Structure 1
Amino acid sequence: MTELFIGLMSGTSLDGVDGVVASFDGGVTVHAHASAGFDPALRAELLALNQPQGVDELHRAALAANGLSRHYAEVVRQLLSQTGLAVSSIRAVGAHGQTVRHQPGAVDGTGYTLQLNNPALLAELTGMPVACDFRSRDVAAGGQGAPLVPAFHAALFGRPDEARAALNLGGIANLSLLPGDHSPIRGFDCGPANALLDHWCQQHRGTPFDAGGAWAASGTVRPELLQRLLAEPYFAQPIPKSTGRDLFHPQWLAQHLRPEDLSADPRDVQATLAELTAQSCAEALRLHAPEVQRLIVCGGGAANADLMERLVLHLPGVAIDSSASHGLPPQQVEATAFAWLAQRLLAGEPGNLPAVTGARGMRVLGALYPA
C-alpha cells in the first residue's frame, strides 16, 4: 500500500502554515494542500522571539510553541477533511517547527539550532506520529543544519541532461545547485528575501506583504544604499553557509539606513531591497554554478512579479520558471520536503547532504514522537 505522509511548513516569512498530504512511491505525488495564516498575536510573538527578549523568554517561547502546534493541528484537520482520509492512513506528520535561533558552529564549536515546536502536543492533537527536529543531528555532526531541501529539490527537479538550480524565496533565499552530470549536489542560503521586504511594507503601508511586488516596482533603486547592503560580509562568505533572521532582521536594515534614505520615498527603499535579493541570488548562482541553464523558483517570492523580473534581468541566458511548471506549485514545495524528510526518518535513510551542510557524513535526521 502507498504510504501517505503529511508535511507542515511555517517558514521565516512568518505568514502562516502550509501543509500537504504526499506520497513518494517512485516519485513525488501531492494529494492535497491546505494552509492557515497566523493570528496577529502569534505572528508578533514568533517575530519577537527571533531576537533576545530578556523578559520571561523561556515561558513565552513555550507558549508560542503550543500555539504553533495548534495551528499545525488545524492544517492537519483541513487536509483530512479535504481528502476524507482517516487518521490511521497517515504514516507520520513531518513538522519542522519555527526557527527562532540558528547558530551552527558558533560559540563552543558546535553551536545550535532552535525551532519552536511542541511535537508531543501535535501528536496528542492529531493522533498521528510526528517527526520533527530535523536540523539538530546535522549540526551535531559539524554541519550547518541548513538548507535541508537540496536533496529533495534534486529528487523533484533534477535532470541528467540539464544543469539546473532551485531557488526558494521564503523569508530567506536559498539555492540548490543540481548539476546535470554526476557532480555533488550543493546548496546554501543566499541572503534575505521576503523577510526584509515584508517588514518594510508592513512598516510603511500596514499590509503584510507587497502583493506582486507592485509597490517595489513603482520605486527607484537607491545605488548607495544597495552597495552598503551588499557589503555585508555574509554574501562573500564561502559555502557551506546558512543564515536567517539572526542576521537579516529589521535592526540590520536600520543600521544601514542614512538620514537621506529615511527621508526618501519609502518605495525606493522597497525597490532597493528587492534589488538586493535579486542581485545577491544572481551573483551567488553565477559564482557557484555558472553552468546552470534553468532556474526553478519556489516559495512565496515566486508570486512576486517584480522580483522575478529582476532575476531575469540579472541572469540573461538562464531560463527562469516557477516550480508550478515542473509539477508542484511554489507554496507546496517546502511542506512536501518535510513530508519527504519524515519518510526518510521512518525508513532509516539519511536526509542530509554533507556537500551542502558541511557535516562529517550522511545522517538520519529527526526525532519521532509516536501516536
Structure 2
Amino acid sequence: MRLHPPLADPRQPRLCVGLLSGTSVDAVEAALCEVTGTGDNVRLRLLSHVSVPFPRELVARVLGPQDAGTLSTLNFELAEHFAAAAKQALEKAGVSPEQVAAIGSHGQTMAHVPPGANAHPSTLQIGEPAVIAERTGIPVISDFRTRDVAAGGHGAPLVPYLDWAVFRSREAPRALLNIGGIGNISVVGPRLEDTLAFDTGPGNMVLDGLARRVTQGRLACDLDGTLSRRGLVIPELLAELLAHPFLALPPPKSAGREGFGEVLVDGVWARHTGRPYDVMATALEFTVESIARAYETWLLPRFPGLEGMYASGGGTRNPALMERLRARLAPLPVQTLEALGFPEGAKEAALFALLAAEHLVGTPANVPSATGARRRVVLGKLTP
C-alpha cells in the first residue's frame, strides 16, 4: 500500500506541539519540539514544556459514567483545555502559531479494547481536533492509535518510537520505563525492529484512585509517598492483585482503565476501608512488583546485557515508589530520564510532537514488535 504523499520536506525542521492527557487524567502536558530528519535519521529538540492541571470537577466527570451525550460534551470541552495548553507552550518559547507545522494531540483515552478482549478491538480518544485547530490556527494531527489497531495491533504502546529515535544507545540495549497511569517499558537498541515494548500493568492508576478515597478528594495522588509510607503491605491483598490475568499475558499487550481503573479500586476500597494506609502501601507494592516481574520474565532472558533502566512519568515523583523499585530491581541501575539529559515530565508530550512530524513526511511510526500490528503504518489523522 502506498503511503500518503508527504506534506513536508523531511530535510527541513518542523516545529510541532505534542499534547497529551494521560491515563491519570490530572493535566494536559504540552511540549513544543523541533524535529529534523525522519526515520533512522530523525532528531528531536525540546523547546518548551508546560503542564496545565485540569479542574477537579472535570476530572470527576471524565472518570465517571458516560453516555453518548456526556462523551460528546467532554470531547469538545477537553479540546478547549488542550488548545489553551498548546498556546501556553508556544508563549513560553516565544514562538508564533504561524511558525508551527502541526499540533499532535493524543487526546484523552476513554476506552481501550485490545485484541483478544472481544471480537472487535477498538480504542477511543477524545479532545476534538477541529476545536484545537480553530482555537490555535494550527493544523492538528490526532487519533494516533486507531491505524495500528486497524492493522491488527494494540495501538499501544506508542512511546517505543520516541524511545528508539531519541534515547537508543549504540553500545548496549537500554530500558525506558514510563510510570504514568499505566506502566509501560521499552528496550531499544540500534535497530527499530529489535525493540521490545509493552504495558506492565498499573502505574499510578490504582494508587491515585485510592488516594482520592483515603483523603476524601483532598489529594489526587500519593503525594511524595506520604500516604503509602504510613502503611504496611496486606499480603493477601497483594497476592490477589498480582493474580490479575493481565500480568501473566506475554507481549504484545496493552492495558487501561478497563483493567486497573475505578472498578478494581472500588472493590479494593470496599473490602479494606478500615485500613486506608495499608491499602496504599499494598497498591504501591503492586505497581513495583508488576514492573519487576515484567522485567524478570520478559526482559532479563532476552537482554542479559541491559545497560540500565531510565524512568519517567508521574511515578518518578513518588520517592517511596522509586526507592522500592530500585531495591527490587537491584543490581540493575534505575535512574530517571534526566540522566540522559531530557526532562522526564515532557517525554510523552514530546512523543506526539514527534509522531505529528513523522505524519507530515509520510513516515510510518508504529513499532509492530511492540504493538503486534501486521505492518508499519503512518499514524494519525489530519485536521487542516
Q: Which of 129, 138, 144 in structure 2 is aligned with 1:128?
A: 138
Displacement of 1:41 after TM fit? Answer: 2.2
- 1:135-165 Cα offsets, whole Å, 9 max, x none, are 0000011100000011111122211212211
SS in 2 for 1:28: strand
Q: Which amino acid aligns with 2:14?
A: E
Establish whether residue 199 from structure 1 lines up as the match of residue 209 from structure 2: yes
Displacement of 1:250 after TM fit? Answer: 2.5
Residue in 1 that maps onto 2:39: none
- 1:177-229 Cα offsets, whole Å, 9 max, x none, are 22478871011111111111111111111211121212212211111110000
Establish whether residue 344 from structure 1 lines up as the match of residue 354 from structure 2: no
Q: Which amino acid aligns with 2:232?
A: T
Inter-partner Cα distance in structure 2 for 1:197 and 1:308: 14
Inter-partner Cα distance in structure 1 for 2:267 and 2:29: 33
SS in 1 for 2:194: coil
Matches within 5 A, 1:60-79: 60-79=70-89
Inter-partner Cα distance in structure 2 for 1:257 and 1:65: 30
TM-score w.r.t. the length of structure 1 is: 0.94
Establish whether residue 232 from structure 1 lines up as the match of residue 244 from structure 2: yes
Matches within 5 A, 1:11-26: 11-25=22-36
> Structure 2 stretches of 5 or more lacking a match?
1-11, 37-41
Q: Which of 175, 179, 199 in structure 2 is aligned with 1:169?
A: 179
155 and 72 in structure 1: CA distance in 2 versus 1, 3 angstrom threshold: same
| 8 Å contact from structure 1 (residues 229, 256) kept in 2 | no
Inter-partner Cα distance in structure 1 for 2:120 and 2:184: 22
Establish whether residue 91 from structure 1 lines up as the match of residue 101 from structure 2: yes
Inter-partner Cα distance in structure 1 for 2:317 and 2:25: 16
- 1:223-246 Cα offsets, whole Å, 9 max, x none, are 111000000111001110101001
Inter-partner Cα distance in structure 1 for 2:266 and 2:98: 50
Matches within 5 A, 1:1-371: 2-25=13-36, 27-49=43-65, 53=66, 57-105=67-115, 109-179=119-189, 184-205=194-215, 206-256=218-268, 259=271, 261-264=272-275, 266-290=276-300, 291=304, 292-370=306-384
Displacement of 1:311 after TM fit? Answer: 0.8
How many pairs were matched up?
362
Inter-partner Cα distance in structure 2 for 1:254 and 1:110: 27
- 1:6-29 Cα offsets, whole Å, 9 max, x none, are 001110011010101101235221
| 8 Å contact from structure 1 (residues 5, 343) kept in 2 | yes
Q: Which amino acid aligns with 1:3?
A: R
Inter-partner Cα distance in structure 2 for 1:124 and 1:296: 38
TM-score w.r.t. the length of structure 2 is: 0.91
Q: Give the share of equivalent positions with the same residue, in percent.
A: 38
107 and 217 in structure 1: CA distance in 2 versus 1, 3 angstrom threshold: closer
> Structure 1 stretches of 5 or more lacking a match?
none
| 8 Å contact from structure 1 (residues 302, 308) kept in 2 | yes
